[in-house]
């Protein structure tokens, strides 16, 4: 575990330290596009954050190659070199897109080529565990097509969800943490060496995201751009391919008693990691909904709009930060809920906890429907939006009783830092009868 932690820290440190210089380079290179209608930020922000993330990936692989407990991954498997080749190609395409806005079909072709490069070097799905049947070996063409499809789907799912500050990096970091825990259990719990590359990929991906997040949290100083979103999507897909299509469920039969029982024992996570629809369920759902919505409206599936899930959270009244945290919550609930169920699938407590947390998530989604107001004694412990605003009573009317202390809702709010004369001039015009009363 120490070697994995060291790799994580080095990857995060390199990514974090390089992001500042990359930001200055992006500004100098003019990689600051104008604000579009679908954007939620208000000021032009440089892209090209994927440059720092790519060098963080290279640093993580380099450090792991020199660690005694991780060096065997490079000696016994060609998957790290396959990942680096595909990552370099997809990163280069992303950098060109961040600077010159290349066509969507060209990007799609580049994604397929990057996936094909990884397949040619051995990072491919070889077999699938099928319920009731066991392990089914795939032909070369079947494995190639399934691998390319998984890579393209994951890349575009992550790219589509990259719409708010810190959203894509945080959600992918959560997914990578779930991947790491599962792969680490297969590697050291069942001593299956085929899970070692996926464990390494997941921990490096965590470091890339954690190192970039401090620069990308709201308000973001730099965006990862397509060079970053497509890169982390590809690394995430590579982890899924390695753990799903390379680890033979037959190797688990010594622990479970038979091949079929081993397949059923691993099924709760093997099948979700195949596509991966639970670990990154929210980005994939956003991708599917976007394609259906745009096709239904007669638009191209690659045409950008403001109909993504994070846009809808903003429209119903959530703040930028709260929308991101809600997406984090649901991603973590689905990813780690699936992971916990794969370990103790017979425990009802896990199901009950997931149901309870889902109810809490629904309450968080509906928060804008309510206007909670904290009591005055608790105002110092809650965010400002839950406090009673400072108010100034309206001008008194002749013959009318003075307002009591409980009639806060009838007073006119006065923003902080505004003097009395300015506040009175900003008051709405009173009816004629009130004017006459005040003049008298």
pLDDT tens-digit readout, 61-81: 999 999 988 998 998 889 999
Work out the average pLDDT over 379-396. Answer: 60
Q: What is the per-residue pLDDT for 181?
A: 87
Give domain limits for the chain.
Answer: 2-291
Q: What is the per-residue pLDDT for 69?
A: 87
% of the chain exceeding 70 in pLDDT? 68
pLDDT reading at 20 higher than 90: yes
Report the DSSP beta bridge partners of residue 129. Answer: 135
Q: What is the per-residue pLDDT for 279?
A: 59
At 432 the three-state DSSP class reads helix
- Which residues have C-beta within 8 Å of that of residue 245, sequence separation ≥ 6? 124, 125, 126, 127, 128, 138, 143, 146, 147
- Which band of pLDDT confidence, cut at 50, 70 and 90, is reported for residue 245? low
* Closest among 221, 172, 220, 163 to 20, alpha carbons compared: 221
Work out the average pLDDT over 144-160. Answer: 89
| 154 vs 339, higher pLDDT | 154
Work out the average pLDDT over 251-274. Answer: 49
pLDDT reading at 329 higher than 80: yes
pLDDT reading at 391 higher than 60: no
Round to the nearest angstrom and report the end-to-end CA distance of the chain. 82
Q: What is the per-residue pLDDT for 44?
A: 78
Q: What is the largest CA-CA distance in the chain?
A: 97
Q: What is the per-residue pLDDT for 270?
A: 52
Report the alpha-carbon distance of residue 168 to residue 163 in Å, rounded: 8
% of the chain exceeding 90 in pLDDT? 30
pLDDT reading at 356 higher than 50: yes
Q: What is the per-residue pLDDT for 404?
A: 42
Tokens of 307: 């109909």
Q: What is the per-residue pLDDT for 304?
A: 63
**For 74-116, how does the pLDDT look when each residue is reduced to its tens digit (9 = 90+)?**
988 899 999 999 999 999 999 999 988 888 889 999 999 999 9
Mean pLDDT of the chain: 77
| 210 vs 192, higher pLDDT | 210
Q: What is the per-residue pLDDT for 400?
A: 47
At 392 the three-state DSSP class reads strand
pTM over 0.95: no
| 335 vs 313, higher pLDDT | 335
**For 27-45, how does the pLDDT look when each residue is reduced to its tens digit (9 = 90+)?**
998 888 766 555 555 677 8
> Are residues 116 and 264 in contact, defined by beta-carbon separation less than 8 angstroms?
no
- Which band of pLDDT confidence, cut at 50, 70 and 90, is reported for residue 305? low
CA distances from 313 to 38, 217, 289, 291, 303 (A): 14, 17, 15, 19, 20
pLDDT reading at 190 higher than 80: no
pLDDT reading at 433 higher than 90: no
| 245 vs 337, higher pLDDT | 337
| 104 vs 270, higher pLDDT | 104
| 188 vs 423, higher pLDDT | 188
Burial class, 44, CB count within 10 angstroms (exposed 0-12 / middle 13-18 / buried 19+): exposed
Give 126-149 as a DSSP string: -EEEETTTEEEEPPHHHHHHHHHH
């Amino acid at each position: 575990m120490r070697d994995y932690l060291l790799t994580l820290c080095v990857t995060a440190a390199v990514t974090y330290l390089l992001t500042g210089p990359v930001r200055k380079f992006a500004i100098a290179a003019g990689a600051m596009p104008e604000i579009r209608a679908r954007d939620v930020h208000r000021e032009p922000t440089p892209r090209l954050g994927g440059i720092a993330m790519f060098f963080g990936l290279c640093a993580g692989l380099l450090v792991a190659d020199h660690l005694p407990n991780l060096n065997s991954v490079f000696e016994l498997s060609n998957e790290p070199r396959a990942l680096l080749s595909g990552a370099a190609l997809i990163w280069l395409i992303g950098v060109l897109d961040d600077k010159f806005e290349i066509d969507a079909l060209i990007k799609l072709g580049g994604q397929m080529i990057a996936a094909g490069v990884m397949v040619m070097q051995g990072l491919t799905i070889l077999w699938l565990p099928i319920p009731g049947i066991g392990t089914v070996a795939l032909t070369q063409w079947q494995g190639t097509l399934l691998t390319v499809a998984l890579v393209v789907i994951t890349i575009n799912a992550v790219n589509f969800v990259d719409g708010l500050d810190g959203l894509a990096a945080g959600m992918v970091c959560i997914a990578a943490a779930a991947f790491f825990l599962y792969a680490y259990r297969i590697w050291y719990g069942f001593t299956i060496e085929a899970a070692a590359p996926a464990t390494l990929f997941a921990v490096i991906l965590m470091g890339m995201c954690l190192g970039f997040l401090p620069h990308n949290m709201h308000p973001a100083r730099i965006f990862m751009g397509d060079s970053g979103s497509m890169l982390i999507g590809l690394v995430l897909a590579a982890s899924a391919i390695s753990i799903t299509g390379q680890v033979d469920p037959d190797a688990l039969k010594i622990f479970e008693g038979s091949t079929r029982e081993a397949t059923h024992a691993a099924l709760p996570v093997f099948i979700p990691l195949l596509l991966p629809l639970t670990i990154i369920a929210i980005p994939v759902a956003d991708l599917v909904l976007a394609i259906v919505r745009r096709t239904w409206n007669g638009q191209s599936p690659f045409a950008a709009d403001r109909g993504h899930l994070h846009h809808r959270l903003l429209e119903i009244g959530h703040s930028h930060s709260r929308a991101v945290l809600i997406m984090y919550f649901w991603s973590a609930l689905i990813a780690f809920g699936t992971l916990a169920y794969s370990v103790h699938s017979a425990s009802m407590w896990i199901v009950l906890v997931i149901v309870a947390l889902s109810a809490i998530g629904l309450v968080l989604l509906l928060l804008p429907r309510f206007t909670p107001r904290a009591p005055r004694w608790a105002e110092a412990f809650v965010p400002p939006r839950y406090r009673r605003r400072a108010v100034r009573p309206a001008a008194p009317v002749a013959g009318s009783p003075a307002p009591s202390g409980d009639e806060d809702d009838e007073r006119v709010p006065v923003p902080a830092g505004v003097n009395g004369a300015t506040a009175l001039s900003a008051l709405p015009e009173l009816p004629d009868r009130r004017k006459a009363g005040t003049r008298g």
